[in-house]
Amino acid sequence: MRRKSIALTLAVIMLAVLSFPTIASGNQGLVRKIVVFNKAVNEPARDALIKKFGGVKVKDLNLIEGKAVLLPPKAVVALKKEPGVLRVDDDIVFYATGKRIAAGKKAPTQPPESLQWGVDRIDADLAWATSTAAGVKVAILDTGIDLDHPDLGANVKGGINTINPRKKPDDDNGHGSHVAGVVAAVRGNGIGVIGVGPNASLYAVKVLGASGSGYASDVIEGLDWCIQNGIKVVNMSFGASSDNQSIHDAVIRAYNAGIIMVAAAGNSGPGSDTVSYPARYNEVIAVAATDSNDAVAPWSSRGPEVDIAAPGVNIYSTYKNAGYATMSGTSMAAPHVTGAIALKLQVNPLLSPDATRSLVMGTAEPILGVPEEVGAGLIDAEALVNAQ
C-alpha cells in the first residue's frame, strides 16, 4: 500500500513538472508585455496577479510602476480588465540607427591621434579652451562600451547591463563604442580620435544586445538607473517606428528629473513624418544627419520633431575590440550634439532640459534645408559653450 502511495506521489510530481513545458523550455508561445499597475497595488499582489494569468516576470520596472512579463496571448485581454492594472503595453524592440561602412578590426598598432571632420566641423576644438566637459556625467544608452579600449577606458566611470545584470556593460556589437568615441574619446593620448567633449565622464548603459536591438523594458530600466545615478545627459542612438506609452512615461520621468536627452532622428529618409521614437517626444532633442558638405543625408529622417542637425556621414570613431571603424547614421549625428551639450554643462551645470534645447537651437549655424530636415541648423559647439 505504501509503495502505491509513493508511486502515486511521484506520478503527481511528474505530471506537475510536465504541465509547464513552455516555461521549462524557453517560454515558447508566450508574448512579452509591459504591465503597468495602479500605485495602490503592492508588490506581492502584482506578482500574484501575473502568476494568476500564467505569466512569468522578466524584470521589475519601478520607474513606471510596472513589470516586464511573458504572458500567454489569451491572458492579455483578461489581464487588462483587472482593476489593479492600468495598462498592458507591447514590450517593443528598438534598433541601433548606425551602419558600419569600413571594418572595425583591432590594428596591430593604434593609429596616431587625429581630429575627425565632424568634431572639426562643429567647432568643438575651438571650445576646448573654455570647456572639455570635465566631470559631466554622460550616459550612452546603447550596445555597451568597450571598457578596455585605450581611447575610451580612462573616461568610462561606470554603467549597467540591463540585458544581463550579472555581466559588465561591455560592447559586443561595436555601435555603442563608436557613439561613445564621438562623445568623449580621450584627447592628448597620441592615438586614435578625439571626442567632442574629451574629458566627459562616460557611463555605459547597455540596453541593446549583440544584434543592435533591445526591448523597451531594458531602456526603461536604463533610464531609471540614470535618474538614480545623477546622469546629466543621455544619448539614445536607437529608434522604433511605433509609439509606446511605457517608454514615454519613462522619458517624462527622466525629463522631470532634469536629465537632458538626445536621440537619433532615424534613418527612414524623405517624407514628412519619418522621425522615430524616442526622438519624436517633446522631451527629447531630435538630431538629423549631415555630410561634410552640410547637406542633409538622403536617408536621414524628416519631420517637425527635428531640432538640430549634426555630422553623421562617414564618421570615424572607436569600435569594439580596441578597434576603430567608419560608420554612418543619425546614430553618429546624435553624439556630436550630446558632446556639445556636455561641453556647455561644464560651464553651466544647472541648465534645465528646456533651457539647453533653446541654447542648442539658438546658437545653431544656418545651413541649407527646411526645418523638417535640419531643424534650427547645424550644431555649433563653440557658440553653444560661449552663449549667455
Q: Are 329 and 314 in contact (CB under 8 A)?
A: no
Cis peptide bond N-terminal to 278, omega within 30? yes
Q: Which of 245, 264, 273 is nearest to 311 (CA)?
A: 264
Q: Which of 126, 317, 164 is nearest to 235 (CA)?
A: 317
Q: Which of 172, 49, 162 is nearest to 104 (CA)?
A: 172
Catalytic residue among 142, 218, 291, 380: 142
Catalytic residue among 317, 328, 331, 336: 331
Catalytic residue among 175, 178, 248, 336: 175
Please say whether the dihedral angle defined by the alpha carbons of residues 85, 68, 338 and 341, taken in this order, is positive or negative: positive
How far, in Å, CA of 287 to CA of 279, rounded?
8
| Catalytic residue list contains 331 | yes
Q: Are 283 and 252 in contact (CB under 8 A)?
A: yes
Q: Which of 252, 247, 227, 256 is nearest to 139 (CA)?
A: 227
Active site residues: 142, 175, 331
